[in-house]
Amino acid sequence: MESPETQPIPYPARELAERVRAQVARVLVGLEGEIEHCLVALLAGGHVLLEGPPGVAKTLLVRTLARALGGSYSRVQFTPDLMPADITGTSIWRPSESAFRFQPGPIFAHFLLCDEINRAPAKTQSALLEAMQEGSVTADGERHALPLPFCVFATQNPIEQEGTYPLPEAQLDRFLFKIVVGYPAPEVEAQLLEAGHRRAPNATPEELGVVPVCTPSEILALREAVLKIAVREDLPAYVVRLLRATRSDASFLLGGSPRAGVMLIAAAKARAALDGREFVTPDDLKSVFLPALRHRVVLDPAEELEGGTSVDALKRILDAVEVPR
């Protein structure tokens, strides 16, 4: 198989997005913005944290995307008794070989769904997030590379706190985007109910006609193309102004880090590619600013008591910082 550096790109990222949207529409109604952000994160090589109440199709969204994108898929339900080896795998004694052999866990998939990630204890969360950062799992001193592309989609419920272990800021920073999935608009919910009552309650994306529209090697080739997207000389300075504004704003105890800036530009390049452009615009940066920063800043408790949110403060900063012409 040719490497991503030499493999010709079979079709541009914009066409990939159109093909994926067409497949997802067979299963889901609405969620267009969430789908776009997931595709941006995928092409930027990042991971996604999906936050929303139960029943808003977070799990179904990930499963459908994985089916349409053509890679292997695994799902892990996080619980308080989940151990790191339940995710990463463990060495098992093989009597026939008189030796231990590593048995890969569900993390060895192109797309891994971690349902209710905040229900697992910190040790298990850390094992997963280390693999996200390193792209590999170490067992008995031996490194096992994860498949490429490797993308983690984690979900969490923002309301229920009993029996949960909230992700600390350092672990949240491993996710490129935090996407908030809310309740649909009334007209969209009516369309959803109209379509939903005509199908079996547990119908899978495969049963609903979703087919793969690309391969893992094609995704890697598109990621290489995204790296070549041009960034104007004045845009990094614009990102720095945005980050410094989050650090000096009284609404925040913790502002955006330099890593947040790197991730922001990477996401903007993927956003440009999905629009069929070979260069980044300020609008690309603005469109990914909220999902890339909302989980990397910490709101001041006094601001929270007054009814403020981190998103409100980030929007004020986005409006206040001068945009390059």
- Residue 176 sits at φ, ψ, to 5 deg, of -65, -45
Cα–Cα distance for residue pair 271/281, rounded to 1 Å: 10
So what's the pLDDT on residue 114? 94
So what's the pLDDT on residue 11? 53
So what's the pLDDT on residue 163? 60
So what's the pLDDT on residue 7? 43
Cα–Cα distance for residue pair 313/245, rounded to 1 Å: 10
Span 20-67, pLDDT tens digits:
999 999 999 889 999 999 999 999 999 999 999 888 999 999 999 999
Written out in words, the top-level CATH class of the domain with range 229-320 is mainly alpha
Cα–Cα distance for residue pair 44/222, rounded to 1 Å: 9
So what's the pLDDT on residue 223? 94
Strand (E) or helix (H) holding 13:
helix 13-24
Span 63-79, pLDDT tens digits:
999 999 998 999 999 98
Query: Which of 160, 172, 68, 156 shows the shortest CA–CA distance to 110?
Result: 68
Q: What is the mean pLDDT of residues 182-187?
A: 91
Do the Cβ atoms of 152 and 115 come closer than 8 Å? no
So what's the pLDDT on residue 304? 85
Q: Which position has the token pair 């504004």?
A: 245
Confidence grade of residue 160 (pLDDT, cut at 50, 70, 90): low
User: Domain-by-domain residue ranges, the chain?
Assistant: 13-223, 229-320
The average confidence (pLDDT) of the chain is: 89
So what's the pLDDT on residue 150? 95
**72-86 in b/e burial notation, b at 16+ Cβ within 10 A?**
ebbbbebeeebebeb
So what's the pLDDT on residue 130? 81
Please give the share of the chain, as a percent, with pLDDT higher than 90: 61
Do the Cβ atoms of 273 and 14 come closer than 8 Å? yes
Span 208-232, pLDDT tens digits:
999 999 999 999 999 999 999 999 9
Superfamily of the domain at 13-223: P-loop containing nucleotide triphosphate hydrolases (3.40.50.300)
Higher pLDDT, 99 or 265: 265
Confidence grade of residue 162 (pLDDT, cut at 50, 70, 90): low
**CA 180, 166, 84, 215: dihedral to nearest 10 degrees?**
10
pTM for the full predicted model: 0.90
Nearest-Å Rg of the Cα atoms of the chain is 20
Do the Cβ atoms of 127 and 87 come closer than 8 Å? yes
Q: What is the mean pLDDT of residues 98-127?
A: 88
Most confident of 109-113, 127-131, 161-165, 168-172: 109-113
Token code pair at residue 236:
């990094």
Confidence grade of residue 161 (pLDDT, cut at 50, 70, 90): low
Beta-strand (E) ranges in the chain?
Answer: 48-51, 73-77, 89-94, 99-104, 111-115, 136-139, 142-145, 151-156, 177-180, 252-254, 298-299
Let me know if the fold of 13-223 is the same as that of 229-320.
no
Span 220-264, pLDDT tens digits:
999 999 999 999 999 999 999 999 999 999 999 999 999 999 999
Q: Which position has the token pair 């490194």?
A: 143
Q: HEC states along 200-262? A: CCCCCCCCCCCCCCCCHHHHHHHHHHHHCCECCCCHHHHHHHHHHHHHHCCCEEECCCHHHHH
What are the CA-CA distances from residue 29 to residues 17, 41, 58, 232, 261 (Å)?
A: 16, 21, 12, 37, 33
So what's the pLDDT on residue 238? 97
Number of H helices, E strands in the chain: 13, 11
So what's the pLDDT on residue 202? 83
Confidence grade of residue 10 (pLDDT, cut at 50, 70, 90): very low
